Amino acid sequence: MSCKKPYNTLATTTNYNYLVIEGLINTGQDSTIFKLSRTVPIASSIANNPETGATVTVENDKNGIYVLREIRKGIYAAAPLNLDTAHMYRLRVKTTDGKEYLSNFVQAKNSPPIDSVQYEFTGSAENIYSYTHDPKNSTRYYRWEYQETYLFYSPIASYYIFKNNSIVPINADDQTQVCYISDTSSTVILNSTAKLTQDIIYKNPITVVPITLDKLKVRYSILVKQYALTADAYNYYQNLKKNTENLGSIFDAQPSAAKTNIRCISNPEVPVLGYIVAGSISQKRIFIDRSDFYTSFVGVDYSYCGTASIKYKAPKRSPYPAIITSGAEVPIDSLIAGVDPPGSKDSAFIIQYATAECTNCTLRGSNKKPAFWK
C-alpha cells in the first residue's frame, strides 16, 4: 500500500509536420473530395492545419489524369468523374515544399445499397443501427461515417437586435431563435462479414444519442454513408481505431504504425498518413422526431438562463448601455419608458436583456434551413 501520485507524461513538442491525406476516389455519381492537412503537436492550440496550394490529381492505369481543384483551404475536389470500375486508380499530390506523394494503384469497390437505417430507444438514448447486404458476397469489408443535424431553439427568444447603433426588431435573416446544428462522426466505424457464409450486415451500431443532449429535443436527422473496403484498407482502419480509440488500459493493444498505401516518392524517409481507396458510396438519411419516443425528456439544463433589465437615460441624450453596445448582452424586448417622474428630465428607459449564450442560437449553429430538411 502506498499513496497515489499523478503521472504526467512528457508530450513531444516537436512539430513533425507530416502530411495527412483523407478522402475517397469516388467512381460514382458524386464528387471526389480530398482533405490535405499537416500534423500538429499535442499541446498546440491549432486544431486544423490545412495544406494549401498543392497539386492533386487522380490517375488510372491507362494514363488517364483527372485534376482536383482547391475549393477551400486544404479541400480539393472534382465534379463527379463517373470512372470505369474496370480500371485501377491512384492519387498523386505535389506540395508547395517540392515534395511529391503517390499512392499505390487500388481496385475500385462499390458499396452495396444501405437496406435501412433504424433507431431503437433504450430509455436513456436512441441507438442508431444500419442494415445492408451484398447478394454477390463480394464486399465483406465495410466502413461507415455519418453526419447528424438537429433542430435547436434558443432557451430565451429575442425579437430585437442591436444593429447600426440602434435597437431594432429582428428580421427573418437575422433571427437567432431557431437554428440547425450539424456534426460529423469522429470515430472509426467498421464491420466485416469475412468469416460469415453470407455477406449480410445486421444491426450494425452507428452511434448512440443520449437524451441528456439537446439533439433529440425537437427533431434529429442522421445521414449514414457506407464504404466498401479491400482487406488491406480494412486492416489499416482497424489498426487506426486501435491506436486512437482503444488505448488507456493495461489490457489494450500497444500502439503500432498503421501501414499506409501512400509514400513520398521524392524522399522515401518522409512519413505520410492516410489510406487511399476508390469506389462509390451508398448513403441513407432518416429523421427522428421528439414524438417518436415516449419518455420524460432530460436535455441540457438551461436553468441558469434568465432575463434582467437595466434603466438608463433616454438614448437621445446618452448612448445605449455598454452591456448592449459591446454585445455582452442581447436586448430581448423593445424599450420601455420609465417614470422617474413622468415628463421630468430624469425620465429613463428600461431595456430587458439576456446573455447571448441563452438567446443567440447562431453561436452554435446556422439559422439557415438545410436543403434536405423536411
pLDDT of res. 204:
98
Q: Is residue 217 part of a domain?
A: no
Q: Is residue 45 part of a domain?
A: yes
pLDDT of res. 88:
97
pLDDT of res. 12:
67
- Residue 231 exposed, middle or buried by CB count within 10 Å (0-12, 13-18, 19+): exposed
Q: Is residue 80 part of a domain?
A: yes
Q: Is residue 263 part of a domain?
A: yes
Domain span holding position 44: 19-108+231-276
pLDDT of res. 245:
84
Q: Is residue 203 part of a domain?
A: no
Q: Is residue 313 part of a domain?
A: no
pLDDT of res. 253:
61
Count structural domains, the chain: 1
pLDDT of res. 319:
65
What are the 10-residue block averages of pLDDT along the chain, 374 residues in total?
Answer: 71 83 96 96 85 98 97 98 95 97 96 97 93 97 98 92 83 92 96 97 97 92 97 94 74 68 96 96 96 76 89 64 82 64 64 90 95 94
Q: Is residue 116 part of a domain?
A: no
**Sign of the CA dihedral with 213 first, then 220, 30, and 110 last:** positive
Q: Is residue 126 part of a domain?
A: no
Global pTM reads: 0.87
pLDDT of res. 244:
83
